[in-house]
Structure 1
Amino acid sequence: MDRFRLDGAYLNLLNRRGFLVGAGALAGLGIAGEFSSRVLARPIFSDYPFKLGVASGDPRPDGAILWTRLAPDPLNGGGVPNVRIPVQWQVAADENLRNVVQSGTVYAVPERAHSVHVQVQGLQPDRWYWYRFRAGGELSRIGRTRTAPAFGAKANQLTFAVASCQDWQNGFYSAYRNMAKEDLDMVVFLGDYIYEYGSEDSTGPRQHNGPEILSLEDYRNRHALYKTDPDLQEVHALFPWIVTWDDHEVENNYANLIAEASSQQAGDPEAFAERRAYGYQAYYEHMPLRVLSIPRGPDLRLYRRVVFGDLAQFNVLDTRQFRTDQPCGDELKPRCEEAFDPAATLTGSRQEAWLFKGLAGSRATWNVLAQQVIFSQFDFDPTPENELFNLDQWDGYVAARARITDFIAQQKIANPVVLTGDIHSSWAFDIKTNFDDPASPTVGAEFVCTSITSDFPAEFIAPVQAAVPANPHTKYFDGAFRGYARCTLSQDRWQTDFRGVASIEDPAASISTLASFVLENGKPGIQPA
């Protein structure tokens, strides 16, 4: 039995009313004694407290996670007194909240930046619900979420967007404005929700709130800045999200407790562990995550599974917290022996075993790995007898990747699909058992979504395009457009549409479909739609 199910069973015993409460309310359950004991029952806020909106996440057949944060002064620590504040919540079967089916009260506590995580249970599977929060007489906006189909139940269709890399400084969130108009069931976000850089690094149309972030308050204020964007708020309110992180939620290209070479904490794992703890805590405080993910110092359990009946199983991975150091000095370069070391890992042994167990036990038509960096091999230098690889990606961890592809092939895992972010461009790959042999079996597919705003340098586009023929398992590349991917699944077919906005300098920019690809159930290999 995996840890999530153990945690869920234990917490079920704590609350027999059919719902679970998260970080803000754990003090009331007597299992988080470090939280403040003073309660302000009737708070009067200095301004509207729900400025960061509402969100939901991790849909299950009987519920989802509901999130908000009390922050009348969000960019200056929140602006809420250092006390516990009761927050009421409601879930209804209608958009006007007349038919309330679940309700309760949780506590927002200063130790969690007055964020609230409500783990709702007891809802009906495979349907939409609406929710709202109340605190001190103030009402949040109404959010919408949905439940997953019952475990093992027949599910005919699922549509979701895949997004990543939303550097505030680089442009406006026109991609989210267009995403809000899509007919989606959920959003899958694959990392770089915030960027740690300082305002002095900006050449884009808007700036970060201060220098590079280092303290807990810094990380909280940076998350709050991103959450003030109205288009991002809208998509959070409309659809449940499944989230994971990459590196910029803490620091660029970190690996486990190893800081980037140029970091202030380089060579000092203890100092970096403190910074990582701040980044992880602020991440949890601002995401609709399960109780499973409450941080413990510099550690946070983020890998988990989300299942949609018999149609799709999402294995959400964490390739930052447990990875070994990037080989060969990192960056783009030829691979050294370290890149082939069987001990090198992106996931850590425990997460890898968890992944294999979940894949082997899956009965879903589509088995998804939702993760961060490009999984497929790609040689950026097409010149004969030369090679150039991105060693922060799976190309720096060749043996670890081979263990996954070999497992998929040997166990005959049904329809594996890897979803990836990180590289600020759109790609489609056939996953091979041997990427150096085009005739080797294709065992899966990988779709890489472009960024919401983060830059892909224009001067890199032509060299990458020139390298594609030397990597024949690469079926598509585009580096010119920002946007997202839209995936539509049925029992017979998977379609991915790469969606690109006309401009990130115009918040109202239009969007178009750049390319579309399909997979057929039981027939490995990407085809044009």
Structure 2
Amino acid sequence: MTRVTGPQSRDRRRLLTAGAAVLGAAASAQLWLPESAARAVETPLPDGVFSLGVASGDPLPDGIVLWTRLAPDPLNGGGMPARPVPVEWELAEDERFARQVRRGAAYARPEFGHSVHVDVRGLRPGREYWFRFRAGGRLSPVGRTRTAPQPYAAGGSLRLALASCQNWQHGYFTPYADMLAQDPDVVLFVGDYIYESGPSASAPRRHEGGGEPYTLTQYRNRYAQYRSDPDLAAMHANAPFVVTFDDHEVDNDFAGETPQDPDKQTHDAFVSRLTAAYQAYYEHMPVRASAVPNGPHIRMHRRLEFGRLARLNVLDTRQYRSDQATGQAGAQDPALTMLGAEQKRWLLDGLRDSPARWNLIASQIMMAETDLLPGEGKQWYYDAWDGYQAERNEFLREFRGVRNPVVLSGDRHLTMVSDLKEDFADPDSAVVGAEFVGTSISSNGDQDQAAFRREWDPRLADNPHWKLLDAHRGYHLFDIRRDAIDARIRVVDTVRQPTSAARTLARLRVEAGRPGVQAG
């Protein structure tokens, strides 16, 4: 996504089975309808059928996924008739659709919540496009998207926004309003798109429903509520997203097919919950047919290329992991895995063979060490990579031979920017990479900053690899070029109001060929 200079610069656990792949062809709208046939069977639909907006995702040099979901009654299952509905789509090189480049029609099917995933191919690399949908006489909002640069493009730049952790009940999604103004080429969302918690009477905004979601309809309703946030909807309509999930899209701190509270959720019940949660996740995300769930399994780890500038490895750190350790000995057990054998090989191969200048790893959870115990001894977060240290340390050793590795994470509801050390047990070991743990969009709300500093500042001496620690809400913005990545930590004053001022809290830099994080 090359940015030109000058006055025109702003114009612009498991592999799926064969059966699931066939199902995916239908779900991703590959069953095209002739335009005349689509219009012939079109019947009027209610107002608000495009209430959930439009989105795009997973850009390729020649392709993009276009998304919408028909839902005139979004918080009550969607409100659509129990039949396939034809949906027309258009893609153009201009906002007024005078220069159309692709158009077609597809079915929005009830078994996929009347969602539509159009995988458009044959596009030009590094280009801006506009798109829209039409169904039942109704026209969707217009979306804007971009394709990735041509595969062998070595120059240019990429503006990437890192977001995570948007709890509806903890506040408004105001950071997206500022993100929209910064005009990123792509948004990387690394988990906790929804929260599964029940409604709270004291929250700034209240979750729909009467409790946690367990069924497909309940998860659909929760996603629909989150999609109704105007700032999130506007951001989805203006840049492609690359997404992966963490725990709250299903159940807090789950691991594989093990829930947080196995004494309260039987295995069969949790498998049913996983099946519903993954189905609803697919239905609401702009992802390809490779992500169509196969029962309680979904494939989300994948790789996206942005020319020779950057390779983005998107991880799934939930579905294949061993259950969390409960002590230090367990955290260092070499038998524990975060990624599973197949995904681990996939990641290592992709790092070793990469032709890219920058090798980005989207990890839902923090890779750098967090020692919570001031002074002698250590105390770790076992849900993060600290709980899977043998596998984490293997990757860090590999980083010595990887060109410019940078890990982009979430989960913590904090900004935590770190040097990645080859061996965190040895403070003098080499720096082999950098990690940016993005703060939350709204989770934890407006924190008491003084209380945060009292709790966390005593830990700084035991974590000398931390370069920045902060508890404001916001996101991270990266301008990636061949020579360096310039990062801006963007924060808002409040998420308890629908609007808020935003500012740059800090500027940081990662220089090519120089592992670690420097002042910007």
Does TM, normalized by the shorter one, top 0.5? yes
Note the C-alpha offset of 1:320. 0.4
Matched ranges for 1:305-344 at <5 A = 305-328=303-326, 335-344=327-336
Give deviations 1:504-526, integer Å, cap 9, x for gaps: 01221010111111011101121
CA distance in 2, matches of 1:129, 1:28: 21
| Aligned counterpart, 2:407 | 418
CA distance in 2, matches of 1:519, 1:166: 27
Note the C-alpha offset of 1:269. 1.7
| Aligned counterpart, 1:225 | 225
CA distance in 2, matches of 1:69, 1:277: 19
Give deviations 1:289-339, integer Å, cap 9, x for gaps: 0111000100000000011001000000000001000001xxxxxx43111
Output the aligned Cα RMSD. Answer: 2.2
| Aligned counterpart, 2:97 | 97
Q: Residues 419 and 263 from structure 1, CA distance in 2 versus in 1: closer, same or farther, beyond 3 angstroms?
A: farther
| Aligned counterpart, 2:359 | 367
Q: SS at the partner of 1:46? A: coil
Give deviations 1:100-121, integer Å, cap 9, x for gaps: 1011111000000000000010
CA distance in 1, matches of 2:361, 2:180: 24
Structure 1 unaligned blocks of 5 or more: 15-19, 30-37, 329-334
CA distance in 1, matches of 2:52, 2:320: 31
CA contact (8 A) 1:517 1:526 kept: yes
| Aligned counterpart, 1:485 | 476
| Aligned counterpart, 2:173 | 173
1:380 equivalenced with 2:372 (yes/no): yes
Letter in 2 for 1:209: E
> How many residues align structurally?
497
Matched ranges for 1:121-140 at <5 A = 121-140=121-140
CA contact (8 A) 2:418 2:434 kept: yes
| Aligned counterpart, 2:110 | 110
Letter in 1 for 2:205: R
CA contact (8 A) 2:66 2:117 kept: yes
CA contact (8 A) 1:495 1:518 kept: yes
Identical aligned residues as a percent: 46
CA distance in 2, matches of 1:115, 1:344: 37
Note the C-alpha offset of 1:42. 1.8
| Aligned counterpart, 1:76 | 76
Note the C-alpha offset of 1:47. 2.1
Q: SS at the partner of 2:181? A: coil
Structure 2 unaligned blocks of 5 or more: 1-13
Give deviations 1:65-110, integer Å, cap 9, x for gaps: 0000000111111111000011011110111111110111110000
Q: SS at the partner of 2:433? A: strand
CA contact (8 A) 1:171 1:504 kept: yes
TM-score, length-scaled by structure 1: 0.90
Letter in 1 for 2:316: D
| Aligned counterpart, 2:485 | 494
| Aligned counterpart, 1:507 | 498
Letter in 1 for 2:464: P
Q: Among residues 454, 460, 463, which one is paired with 2:455 in the alignment? A: 463
| Aligned counterpart, 1:17 | none
CA contact (8 A) 1:58 1:288 kept: yes
Matched ranges for 1:176-215 at <5 A = 176-200=176-200, 203-210=202-209, 211-215=211-215
CA distance in 1, matches of 2:153, 2:330: 45
Deviating beyond 3 angstroms after TM superposition, the runs of 4 or more aligned structure 1 residues are 3-7, 24-29, 456-461
The farther-off stretch of 444-453 and 147-156 is 147-156
CA distance in 2, matches of 1:72, 1:160: 33
Q: SS at the partner of 2:475? A: strand
Note the C-alpha offset of 1:26. 5.4
CA contact (8 A) 2:15 2:299 kept: no
Q: Residues 140 and 381 from structure 1, CA distance in 2 versus in 1: closer, same or farther, beyond 3 angstroms?
A: same
| Aligned counterpart, 1:331 | none
Letter in 1 for 2:135: A
TM-score, length-scaled by structure 2: 0.92
Give deviations 1:5-42, integer Å, cap 9, x for gaps: 999xx99xx9xxxxx9651635679xxxxxxxx99922
Give deviations 1:445-468, integer Å, cap 9, x for gaps: 000110000007644442222101
Q: SS at the partner of 1:159? A: strand
CA contact (8 A) 1:429 1:474 kept: yes
| Aligned counterpart, 1:350 | 342
The farther-off stretch of 146-155 and 308-317 is 146-155
Note the C-alpha offset of 1:360. 1.1
| Aligned counterpart, 1:449 | 438
| Aligned counterpart, 1:53 | 53
| Aligned counterpart, 1:274 | 272
| Aligned counterpart, 1:152 | 152
